[in-house]
Amino acid sequence: MGILSGFLFGFYLLEMKNTNQLVFVEGSSISIVTEKSDFKKGEEIKITLINSGTSPITFTDSSYGLKISGLFGIKMYSPTASQVVTTLNPKEQIVFVWDQMKNDNVPVLEGLYKISSDGIDSDGKIVEKSITINIWK
């Protein structure tokens, strides 16, 4: 039973990895791109948010809805943001660099982390995307 559970969980994690290439679509879409999906502990992580759709996406602050959380959904980091409405137009992108520090300035541990972003399209619908990365020694 343990072997089967381990296999299924491993397959699930493999499916969650950021292996998709950037594809532009008709309508509303956000894409999150990193250079790779496995990072060494302490390595800077360059995160690119791209409007991969054909309509503008609006965000409630200057962090572009970016959040990094642990595997169980506990928020670890979000960029310092001013309360200004920001817009990402089609094919526009914004780059963030994360130094693997939590918001309380403590380094994160090894493990899986979810990078997500959400905004609102011109029809008032929520547009969201997330990817998973791995941090190891």
Residues 6+ apart with CB under 8 A from 91: 24, 50, 51, 52
Q: Within a 10 A sphere around the Cβ of 117, how many other Cβ atoms?
A: 25
Measured in residues, the chain has a length of 137
**C-alpha dihedral sign at 108, 65, 44, 137:** positive
Q: DSSP string spanning 4-57?
A: HHHHHHHHHHHHHBS-PPP---SS--EEEEES-SEEETT--EEEEEEE-SSS-E
What was the pLDDT predicted at 11? 46
Amino acid in position 32: I
Give residue 1's pLDDT: 58
Residue 6: per-residue pLDDT: 53
Nearest to 101 by CA among 22, 45, 63: 45
As a whole number of angstroms, the distance between CA 21 and CA 88 comes to 20
Structural domains counted in the chain: 1
What pairs with residue 111 in β-bridges? 135
Mean pLDDT, 10 residues at a time, over the chain (137 residues)? Answer: 53 48 90 97 98 97 96 92 94 97 96 97 96 95
Q: Which pLDDT value is given to residue 22?
A: 85
- The CATH number given to whatever domain includes residue 53 is 2.60.40.1930
What pLDDT shows up at residue 51? Answer: 98
pLDDT reported for residue 134: 97
| Residues of the domain holding 108 | 2-136
Per-residue pLDDT at 137:
86
